[in-house]
Copies of this chain bind each other. A is one copy, B any other.
């Protein structure tokens, strides 16, 4: 277990997004004083409904996190900073690489500059992505796997990781990097596939529409339920062993995309999926099969995912059957 957060002062950047808001809920339960910072950028995961029910137990700031000076007051006096900001869409990063640069590089630099100038003792956890590995040379992918990102998003997330390591080395800002794989669950963005394909799939199943699976659907993926990811973030923040390290998250039950589509439909109780050819834009940056070797975090921090895929999908579907309108109509 990731220890007590009673009266600990926590700031979550990207705190109105999918993972940030789930993390906030857990921290509120554990007695932390939680500040959420979120630019609420268009087409990203930030959604005020994500804090429905805890809105009076957290503080929210919607400043532009690329402006270092606006962050000074927000990081000062905080014990932990969870850095969950970021543009997540691979396609968008190719269509508009500058916006990806702003959100995945400039925002990281401003956060780190604010920390080193105003709170160099803060503990930082940065959510990176499997995308930095590009097309796997071998499976499962461990942390020693070479980095060769295949899209601008992967390059910029890689730079974001490195900024954290540089600021640790040069300024002593303590940070830990988690490389997340596909994360899913309540409060994910499901309006489209920008955050993850699975979001759009869930929306389509709940709306009674067919799921499109690209190619032959044999590409393998591993998936983490968001509560498991939240636990990893908390462990990474509080463990002395975690500092300066990079950890993969992952799951024990990788699954092909077409089996995942079938499982999702089965869990929902109805639906259909169809195999469609890869759209050219997707094909150009597809990474084939991916699943992670997460033994390093298991050994070092004792983390392992607990929620089986079937159970996680059931909970996610349940959430969107009830609250879906708050997600697909948002920003419509």
Complex interface residues of chain A between 149 and 174 (CB less than 8 A to chain B): 149-152, 154-156, 158-159, 162-163, 165-166, 169-170
A68 nearest in chain B by CB position: B98
A103 within 8 A of B: no
* Assembled-state Cα–Cα distance A151/B147 (Å): 18
Task: Establish whether residues A109 and B94, one from each chain, have CB atoms under 8 Å apart when the complex forms.
Answer: no
At the interface, yes or no: A38 with Cβ under 8 Å from chain B? Answer: no
Q: Which residue of B lies closest to A155 (CB)?
A: B162
Taking CB atoms, residues of chain B closer than 8 Å to A97 are 109, 113, 163
Q: Does A106 sit at the interface, judged by CB under 8 A?
A: yes
Q: Give the chain B neighbours of A158 by CB distance below 8 A.
A: 158-159, 162
Q: Determine whether A101 belongs to the interface, using a CB cutoff of 8 Å to chain B.
A: yes
Cα A52 to Cα B169 with chains together (Å)? 43
Interface residue? A105 (CB, 8 A): yes
Asked whether A284 lies within 8 Å of B170 as measured between CB atoms, the reply is yes
Contact partners of A154 in chain B: CB under 8 A: 162, 166
Output the nearest chain B residue to A146 by Cβ-Cβ distance.
B146
Cα distance A97–B149 in the bound complex, in angstroms: 23
Q: Which residues of chain A from 78 to 102 have a CB within 8 Å of any chain B CB? A: 94, 97-98, 101
Residue A148, interface by CB 8 Å? yes
A48 contacts partner chain B, Cβ-Cβ < 8 Å:
no
- The reply to whether the CB of A285 lies closer than 8 angstroms to some CB of chain B is yes
Query: When the two chains form their complex, are residues A94 and B150 in contact, meaning their CB atoms are under 8 A apart?
Result: no
For the complex, what is the distance from the CA of A169 to the CA of B283, rounded to whole Å?
11
List B contacts of A101 (CB < 8 A). Answer: 101, 105-106, 109
The reply to whether A150 and B169 form a contact with Cβ atoms under 8 Å apart is yes
Q: With A and B bound together, what is the CA distance between A309 and B193 in angstroms? A: 56
Chain A residues near B (Cβ < 8 Å): 94, 97-98, 101, 105-106, 109-110, 113, 147-152, 154-156, 158-159, 162-163, 165-166, 169-170, 284-285
